[in-house]
Amino acid sequence: MLPIARGIYSGLANITRNSRAALHTASALRCKAEASSEEKDSTESTEGDGEDNSSGSSSDPKDRSKLIPVETSIRYLKSAAYKQTYGEDFVWTQYRRNHKGMYAPRKTRKQCIRQNRITTGNPCPICRDEYLVLDYRNTELLEQFISPYSGDVLSYSKTGLCQKSHLRLQVAVQQARDSGYLTYDVPFREYDYNEYYGQEQKQKA
């Protein structure tokens, strides 16, 4: 009986050893396969993120690092896209300021763009559209911010422009008037006639 029992025991031991080795190799191969699949997924995700970042940076609506030429802005004002966006109104007509409370602050915000990016959720009419370039040659845009009655630049409380854009608007309007692109009325000059006629009366006396 002992040799038979020994044979059975040795057979069972060999089977268990083989099964353990098989399980070990199978688990090792499975771990390698999972690691390789994770590496592939990570590389694909990083490549996809890189593509998304590149495409997102190129088409980021808040990015203002790209400078638009004045000629492009002039063509934009005559395009169908401008007519579809603004219609027959001025660029500031449909704009509404976003503020806390019932009454708006007297002054608008200091600026909408910081470090070549829009940093506010409701930018002013000039900062929100990158194709609206304030330049002394872009008279069609400048005339929208000039009062037809007095000839003065409209206040920022009416147009909603930020302080920086309003200052750039004033500079562009003054340059356009100095260069002859915009016409304006010469202010009426008042003279003190006592400086002239008073001397004649003294001489007659």
Q: Where are the domains of the chain?
A: 1-59, 70-179
Rg (CA), the chain: 38
Q: What is the pLDDT of residue 192?
A: 87
C-alpha neighbours within 13 Å on the C-beta side of residue 204 = 5
With H, G, I as helix, E, B as strand and everything else as coil, classify residue 143. Answer: helix
| Phi and psi torsions of 63, nearest 5° | -80, 130
Q: What is the pLDDT of residue 54?
A: 46
Between residues 122 and 55, the one the model is more confident about: 122
pLDDT in tens, 181-192: 999 888 888 988
Cα gap 177→142, rounded to integer Å: 11
Q: Which stretches of the chain are DSSP H helices?
A: 2-58, 70-77, 80-86, 139-142, 156-159, 163-179, 194-204
Range in 24-38, 131-145, 172-186, 189-203 the model is least confident about: 24-38
| Phi and psi torsions of 159, nearest 5° | -85, -25
Q: What is the pLDDT of residue 76?
A: 97
Length of the chain: 205
| Phi and psi torsions of 115, nearest 5° | 55, 45
Which tokens hold the place of 128?
A: 């929100």
With H, G, I as helix, E, B as strand and everything else as coil, classify residue 152. Answer: coil
Tokens 């060999």 belong to: 14
Q: Residue 203 above 80 pLDDT?
A: no
Mean pLDDT of all residues in 201-205: 61
Mean pLDDT of all residues in 139-157: 95
Contact assessment for residue 181 and residue 138, using Cβ atoms and an 8 Å cutoff: no
Local confidence band at 194 (pLDDT 50, 70, 90 cut-offs): confident
Local confidence band at 10 (pLDDT 50, 70, 90 cut-offs): low
Cα gap 159→97, rounded to integer Å: 10
